[in-house]
């Protein structure tokens, strides 16, 4: 899914005309015919929003259930048209960043979207301003059923909203805070270092240096990280100052708003209770030894006494080339196995040109899926480089696409949205299904070992490492809350301590890794963002085990879960699937599946060594 972060353009991607997804590009005509029409539509949307505001402002409290329903339906239509026109600009920006027309369109989209947002914000504010009794009456009205859950969630913020004048004053200083975020991002984006990755010395960005962690030669892997750490020395003080300013600001706003708990804003967005999150994080930390066991085994298969941090993702076994048509049939089979409907959505998206898979200059890096509106099928972006890992990415993004399509069929646009924690569940589940299928069908011992290791290591990266990061943040907020500055030294100490808690003796952490906190964008953009990945991966593990126990019963219940979108709380969405978030056994159940993955990865390297 689009994570809302600065797009990472990928000039580093080795672009070769021999890649098999060449020519697989988006057809944006389901969004807009051309830039001219898009510009015209922004004007129309602006006029519609102004008309809506003139007619509706000040009426939320007096319109009655049917009146509020009509208002929300109209707003839902407006939001979807805005989403479509906006995504037309974003999609062009993400696939052709150098086109001047695209840049003008993207600037226009950003400005107009902000105008629209402030023009329409009164609906949310008036909804929050209603008294509890009035709001409860509306929430129980049959007319408002399609919106009730999202409206209820929105009201949870009511106790912490300040009087309008104060909110406006806080908003007015927003650009000054964003400046810290921009500075942090710019320091990282502009950092380039000379490095020789095998083709002679060349300037490298951070992302490109980090990509060497998958390099087969140890010297290259370790040297790339050393060069990175050295370069970070030069920016660490600035990065710490940015983080200190941002955390300090968030904490003083929390005090002003009387928000009781540092994690509350994130937990509220995820619709998870604080104690549920803490129980999950503690369960994860108790299982850190599972990761260490694998790292010890991995060291021995690589012929090392002990892994260095740069060996963590060293390749095991061998990858194989998978051409785009084969990837399509692999993912199609995996989806169809679960439900023919999933495969139909996948095929339709492909046929309508809603998949952009070709890596090329001027295209954004990474992968995402955007569910645009009830009227438009999702758009999926990835950079397909003919590796098995890319097949898994394709499956992941179509987990999102299937979720978006089914939820938008049944729900209003407002109610289709979920928090990040739930949003990543269907994508991770689709990814796990696809990987299992790849493993089952793979006869080559070496490729099997690679797939098994990759599955276990990606689970470790999202479950263990992301939790470790969230715990680091909790400590940092605690220290800043005591009035101490978050200096580079202090952050480095905290970072190292949390990493040692996870890796123990199983991995040697180089001294330069102290600065590992300084290039993580999540810390800057959304506090405690990372635990959502751990949540989604564990829940997906648990769902996979349930599916295996009783596929006939599980599949229809799962499709039902997808079609609810964000119209219910995570607890109520997942309970019918046998996942009770309040029951500590839930995490034990997920870890049994995780453990199975590690055991199979160990068996994979056993077989590799025996061959
Ligand atoms: Zn995702």
**5 has a pLDDT exceeding 60:** no
CA of 466 to the centre of ligand 1 (A): 14
What three-state secondary structure class fits 387?
strand
CA 160 to ligand 1 center in whole angstroms: 30
Q: Once rounded to an integer, what is the mean pLDDT over residues 57-64? A: 96
> Residue 237 C-alpha to ligand 1 middle, in angstroms?
32
How far does residue 431's CA lie from ligand 1's centre (Å)? 10
Instruction: Report the separation in Å between the CA atom of 5 and the middle of ligand 1, taken as the mean of its atom positions.
Output: 13
Q: Does residue 19 carry a pLDDT above 90?
A: no
Q: Are strands 368-370 and 379-381 parallel, antiparallel or unpaired?
A: antiparallel
Confidence band of 515 (pLDDT split at 50, 70, 90): very high
Q: 363 C-alpha to center of ligand 1: Å?
A: 19
CA of 444 to the centre of ligand 1 (A): 29
- What is the whole-number distance in angstroms between the Cα of residue 428 and the centre of ligand 1? 7
Distance (Å, rounded) from C-alpha 85 to C-alpha 64?
32
CA separation for the pair 58, 126 (Å, rounded): 7
Q: What average pLDDT score do residues 81-107 get? A: 92
CA of 391 to the centre of ligand 1 (A): 14
Residue 7 pLDDT: 35
Q: 574: CA distance to ligand 1 center in Å?
A: 18
pTM of the model: 0.94
374 CA distance to ligand 1 middle (Å): 20
Q: How far is the CA of 576 from the centre of ligand 1 (A)?
A: 23
- How far is the centre of ligand 1, averaged over its atoms, from the C-alpha of 199 (Å)? 33
Q: How many whole angstroms from 562 Cα to the centroid of ligand 1?
A: 15
Distance from the alpha carbon of residue 424 to the mean position of ligand 1, in angstroms: 5
* Distance from residue 166's CA to the centre of ligand 1 (Å): 36
Ligand 1 centre to CA of 398 (Å) is: 9
pLDDT value of position 14:
45
Quote the ligand 1 centre to 136 CA distance (angstroms).
35
- Please tell me which residue, 202 or 172, carries the higher pLDDT value: 202
**Ligand 1 centre and the CA of 135: distance in Å?**
34
pLDDT computed for residue 17 by the predictor: 55
Distance 579 CA to ligand 1 centre (A): 20
Segment 463-493, tens digit of pLDDT:
999 999 999 999 999 999 999 999 999 999 9
524 alpha carbon – ligand 1 mean position (Å): 20
Quote the ligand 1 centre to 308 CA distance (angstroms): 29
CA–centroid distance, 367 to ligand 1, in Å, is 8
* pLDDT-based confidence at residue 11 (cuts at 50, 70, 90): very low
Q: Among residues 152, 421, 151, which one has the least CA distance to residue 272?
A: 421
Distance 531 CA to ligand 1 centre (A): 14
Q: Is the pLDDT of residue 18 over 80?
A: no
Q: How far is the CA of 386 from the centre of ligand 1 (A)?
A: 20
Ligand 1 centroid to residue 602 C-alpha, Å = 27
d(CA 2, CA 18): 28
CA-only gyration radius of the chain, Å = 24
Q: From the CA of 260, how far away is ligand 1's center (Å)? A: 30
User: pLDDT confidence of 4, banded at 50, 70, 90?
Assistant: very low
Cα–ligand 1 centroid distance for 557 (angstroms): 22
Checking if the pLDDT of 245 tops 90, the result is: yes
Residue 400 — pLDDT band, cuts 50, 70, 90?
very high
Ligand 1 center–CA 219 separation, angstroms? 32
Q: Cα of 270 to ligand 1 centre, how many Å?
A: 15
Query: In angstroms, what is the span from residue 393 Cα to ligand 1's centroid?
Result: 9
Measuring CA to CA, how many Å separate 422 from each of 3, 271, 400, 463, 590? 13, 9, 11, 15, 16
Separation CA 248–CA 339 (nearest Å)? 49
pLDDT band at 190 (very low <50, low <70, confident <90, very high): confident
pLDDT exceeds 90 at position 175: no
Report the separation in Å between the CA atom of 536 and the middle of ligand 1, taken as the mean of its atom positions: 10
Are the beta carbons of 399 and 430 closer than 8 angstroms? yes
What does the pLDDT read at residue 10? 38
Percent of the chain with pLDDT over 90: 86
Residue 13 has pLDDT above 70, yes or no: no
Q: Find the 427 Cα to ligand 1 centroid distance in Å.
A: 6
Tell whether the model's pLDDT for residue 279 goes beyond 80: yes
Q: Is 271 left (phi over 0), alpha (psi -120 to 50) or beta?
A: left
Q: Which of 47-56, 99-108, 281-290, 328-337 has the lowest mean pLDDT?
A: 99-108
Overall average pLDDT of the 549-561 stretch: 96
2 C-alpha to ligand 1 centroid (Å): 8
Residue 86 has pLDDT above 50, yes or no: yes
Q: pLDDT value at position 176?
A: 85
Which residues on adjacent β-strands are paired with residue 369? 380
Q: Answer yes or no: are the C-beta atoms of 496 and 514 closer than 8 Å.
A: yes
Expressed in angstroms and rounded, the spacing between residue 368 Cα and the centre of ligand 1 is 7
- In the structure encoding, which two tokens stand for residue 163, read together? 């009087």
State residue 194's pLDDT score.
94
pLDDT of residue 527: 96
Q: Which of 375, 371, 377, 372 is nearest to 352 (CA)?
A: 377
Inform me whether the pLDDT recorded for 551 exceeds 70.
yes
Distance 301 CA to ligand 1 centre (A): 31
Number of Cβ within 10 Å of residue 274's Cβ equals 15
Q: What is the mean pLDDT of the chain?
A: 94
Ligand 1 center to residue 7 CA distance, Å? 15
Ligand 1 centroid to 397 CA: how many Å?
Answer: 6
pLDDT tens digit sequence for 218-242: 999 999 999 999 999 999 999 999 9
DSSP string, 297-321: HHHHHTT-SSEEGGGTT---S---B
Residue 133 Cα to ligand 1 midpoint, Å, equals 39
Q: Tokens for 430, please give them.
A: 């689709």
pLDDT at 91 over 60: yes
Q: C-alpha distances in angstroms, 397 versus 38, 340, 402, 519?
A: 27, 17, 9, 25
């Amino acid at each position: 899914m689009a994570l809302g972060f600065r797009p990472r353009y990928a000039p580093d991607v080795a672009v070769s005309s021999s890649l098999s997804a060449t020519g697989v590009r988006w057809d944006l005509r389901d969004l807009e015919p051309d830039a001219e029409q898009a510009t015209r539509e922004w004007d129309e949307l602006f006029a519609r929003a102004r008309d809506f505001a003139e007619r509706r402002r000040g009426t939320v409290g007096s319109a009655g259930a049917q009146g509020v329903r009509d208002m929300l339906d109209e707003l839902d239509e407006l939001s979807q048209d805005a989403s479509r026109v906006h995504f037309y600009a974003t999609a062009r920006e993400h696939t052709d960043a150098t086109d001047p027309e695209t840049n003008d369109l993207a600037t226009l989209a950003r400005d107009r979207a902000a105008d629209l947002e402030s023009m329409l914000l009164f609906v949310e504010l008036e909804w929050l301003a209603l008294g509890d009794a009035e709001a409860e009456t509306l929430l129980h009205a049959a007319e408002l059923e399609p919106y009730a859950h999202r409206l209820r969630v929105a009201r949870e913020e009511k106790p912490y909203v300040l009087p309008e004048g104060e909110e406006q004053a806080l908003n007015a200083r927003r650009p000054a805070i964003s400046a810290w975020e921009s500075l942090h991002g710019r320091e990282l984006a502009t950092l380039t270092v000379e490095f020789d990755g095998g083709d002679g010395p060349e300037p490298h960005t951070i992302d490109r240096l980090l990509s060497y962690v998958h390099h087969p030669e140890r010297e290259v892997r370790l040297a790339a990280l050393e060069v990175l750490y050295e370069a970070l020395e030069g920016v660490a003080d600035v990065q710490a100052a940015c983080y200190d300013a941002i955390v300090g600001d968030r904490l003083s706003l929390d005090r002003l708003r009387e928000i009781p708990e540092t994690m509350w804003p994130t937990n509220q967005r995820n619709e998870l209770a604080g104690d549920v999150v803490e129980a999950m994080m503690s369960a994860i930390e108790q299982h850190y030894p599972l990761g260490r066991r694998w790292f010890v085994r991995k060291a021995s298969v690589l012929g090392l006494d002990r892994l260095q941090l740069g060996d963590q993702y060293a390749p095991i076994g061998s990858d194989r080339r998978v051409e785009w048509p084969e990837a399509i049939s692999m993912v199609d089979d995996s989806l169809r196995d679960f439900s023919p409907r999933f495969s139909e959505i996948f095929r339709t998206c492909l046929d309508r040109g809603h998949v952009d898979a070709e890596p090329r200059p001027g295209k954004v890096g990474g992968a995402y899926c955007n569910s645009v509106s009830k009227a438009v099928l999702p758009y999926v972006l990835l950079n397909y480089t003919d590796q098995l890992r890319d097949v898994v990415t394709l499956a992941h993004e179509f987990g999102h696409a299937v979720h978006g399509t089914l939820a938008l069929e049944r729900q209003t646009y407002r109610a289709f949205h979920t928090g990040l924690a739930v949003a990543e569940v269907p994508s991770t589940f689709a990814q796990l299904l696809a990987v299992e299928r790849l493993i089952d069908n793979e006869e080559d011992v070496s490729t099997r070992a690679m797939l098994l290791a990759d599955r276990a290591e990606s689970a470790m990266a999202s479950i263990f490492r992301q939790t470790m990061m969230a715990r680091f943040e909790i400590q940092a907020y605690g220290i800043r809350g005591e009035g101490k500055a978050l200096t580079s030294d202090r952050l480095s100490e905290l970072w190292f301590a949390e990493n040692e808690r996870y890796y123990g003796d199983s991995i040697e952490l180089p001294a330069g890794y102290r600065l590992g906190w300084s290039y993580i964008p999540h810390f800057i953009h959304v506090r405690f963002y990372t635990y959502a990945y751990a949540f989604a991966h564990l829940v997906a593990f648990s769902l996979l085990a349930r599916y295996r126990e009783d596929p006939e019963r599980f599949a229809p219940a799962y499709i039902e879960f997808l079609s609810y979108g964000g119209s219910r709380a995570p607890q109520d969405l997942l309970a019918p699937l046998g996942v009770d978030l309040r029951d500590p056994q839930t995490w034990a159940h997920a870890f049994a599946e995780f453990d199975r993955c590690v055991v199979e990865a160990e068996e994979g390297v056993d077989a590799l060594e025996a061959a």
